[in-house]
Amino acid sequence: MRCIFRLLGVHGHVYSWSFPSSTEMRAMLGEPTCPEEHIVVSSLKGGEDKKNSSSYEDLEVEPETCSICLGILQFIYYDAKGLMVKKGTAISLALSISEQIKKEGHQLDSFSLEVSIPTVIQENEHIVHLYMKRKYRSELWFEERFSKCISTKEVLKFAMTNSLEKLLDVKSGPSSCRIRLTYAQTKPSSTVPSSVERGEGCKRRKTGNALGESSSNGLEDHESSECIIFPEDKVNDPCHLVFLCYRTPIYLGGRYLKFSRNVSQTRWMIDDERMGEASVEEIIGGYILPVCHGDSYKFHAAGREDIDVRMLGSGRPFLVEIQNARHVPSEALVKEIEININNLNTQLVLVKNLKMVANEGWTLIHEGEAEKQKQYCALVWISRPLENQDLQSIASLKDLQILQKTPVRVLHRRSPLEREKIIHWMKIETIAESSQYFLLHLCTQAGTYIKEFVHGDLGRTHPSIGSILGCRAEILQLDVTDVKMDCFLAE
């Protein structure tokens, strides 16, 4: 009956109601009604089994599956277990959906409803429209009513949205929280091909998809009504319905400091064996995920340091992407998360300036990977005593251009390329009572291989500290002391 209403362009709350009586239907269509409307369709005859007769209202209680919407607007469907479910009204279906949303613990301040239905339903609508147009095109009511057909998806969204708003006590609209209803056919339909093939003399031609004009099923607007034949078999199987409530990813951004030389940035496994005692990713993301009640998380950072390199100074910018968070933390809770991470007994990682961020956090992170400057401090050994002239020659080099081939140590996982990088400035800090050890402070373009710049990587980086000083140079320890980016700094 809902399909009758929508094909006639009826708007309003009728689609949320239970099946109306014929009197109510006539009233909604503006037709005259009479008190004798509710009559028995088949009279009971003496001695005849009662199952052979029924009233109009009895027929409405147990409707057959609609051959146009495949039961979607009757709120009949197969669930995930393959069991047929008959809800009957939009409010009944919305109630079961809202209960599931609450059971899963979703925190909603709004929602958007998404509906996906089989394409055969649009084809069914088109066949009905063509049939009615051939038969009743001369009737005034046809143009007034049937030209305003409402799609199954529109009707379902209208009926369900109103009910869900009341049950969830939130408004619908553009939202990061999506309620998705996906309907799929139980088995492939042969309705469209059969309706075409049975008509003799029908022409096939691919045309547009405008409802009432043409469709991909090959029916043309000028065909005779005899061409449009409905399938003889009743549709007994409604669609399968999969319900999903999910939130688009949320992001928490900040800066991290790493104090251990045995902690990788991300989880590092080789032949099922963990490298290092932990990872920044697991320490931060592993704590945030359960607080947000999400399904999973991804860790993103502005560049990366090796496992044996500490991250000091103001820290490295990062984002934690939480998939399908059922709880969006408040500003106070985010601050509590930061404090709790920093109070962990391990003291391997520290978090600064943690906060919720929007999608623009991605842009800031990507800029840092290739365009920003980074500062380092390296403990260096050279094969001869350090001289005062060395300090001056190193400090005098400004915006030094170097060429770096892909380092030998990463050739197994990176393309063999030659990159041009810039060393913006350098200075040497001497170490008391040591003539061959010193601290090298330098500021470089993001993406520079610092270890290779010191020892030269068998000539693959040129110039290098070794070639500049004219001796062998080795790097013993390395720290990142600053990542010069504007994001996630203290306000």
- Catalytic residue positions, numbered: 306
Q: Which of 450, 432, 302, 304 minimizes the C-alpha distance to 378?
A: 450
DSSP state of 447: T
d(CA 141, CA 130): 16
Beta carbons of 178 and 111 less than 8 angstroms apart: yes
DSSP state of 382: E
Beta bridge partners of 437: 381
**Residues ≥6 apart with Cβ < 8 Å to 84:** 76, 77, 78, 238
Exposure string over 425-440, b if 16+ CB within 10 A, otherwise e? bbebeeeeeeeeebeb
d(CA 274, CA 16): 57
Q: Supply the DSSP string of 397-443, one letter for each residue.
A: --SEEEEEEPPGGGTTTS---EEEEEEEEEEEEE-TT-SSEEEEEEE
d(CA 148, CA 165): 27
Q: Which of 420, 404, 418, 413 minimizes the C-alpha distance to 453?
A: 404
Beta carbons of 474 and 381 less than 8 angstroms apart: yes
